[in-house]
Amino acid sequence: MLLSKPIYVGLFGLAIGCAAGIGADRLYLGVPVTVTTTAAMPALPSPAAPAARTVDWFIAHPADADAKVRACNNDPGNAGSNPECLNAFTATEKIGFDMITGKVKP
């Protein structure tokens, strides 16, 4: 938080918030000077990222796995650093392998 208050520094003393003129017991011929203070603000916690869906979750939800693989293929630059992309790719490979070997019917 930024707080500013004009302080007038004059030839005959210091007055806060007082323009050139006569104070209680002094004559102020001032030049305005601004003093700025910064109050410490506590850092707000950043929202936690949702947990990545697992391979087992994608196997149980093949339509979502397919949609995620399509989205990751559309953005290959970020796919390598996204754990959900790897999990969706792995799940679709496992689903395809299980279909080929006859463990799961299409």
Residue 38 is predicted with a pLDDT of 57
User: What's this model's pTM, rounded to 2 decimal places?
Assistant: 0.52
State how beta strands 30-38 and 2-10 pair. antiparallel
Domain boundaries, the chain: 2-38, 55-101
Write the Ramachandran bin of 29: left for phi over 0, alpha for psi from -120 to 50, otherwise beta. beta
84 neighbors 52 (Cβ within 8 angstroms): yes
d(CA 8, CA 24): 15
d(CA 14, CA 31): 10
Given a cut of 70, whether residue 70 has pLDDT beyond it is: yes
Given a cut of 90, whether residue 98 has pLDDT beyond it is: no
Q: What is the mean pLDDT of residues 62-77?
A: 94
Residue 93 is predicted with a pLDDT of 94
Residue-wise pLDDT for 39-62, tens only, equals 566 677 777 778 889 999 999 999
Output b/e per residue, 13-32; b: 16+ Cβ within 10 A: eebeebeeeeeeeeebebee
Given a cut of 80, whether residue 17 has pLDDT beyond it is: no
Q: Pull the structure tokens for residue 71.
A: 């989205």
Residue 73 is predicted with a pLDDT of 94
Given a cut of 60, whether residue 36 has pLDDT beyond it is: no
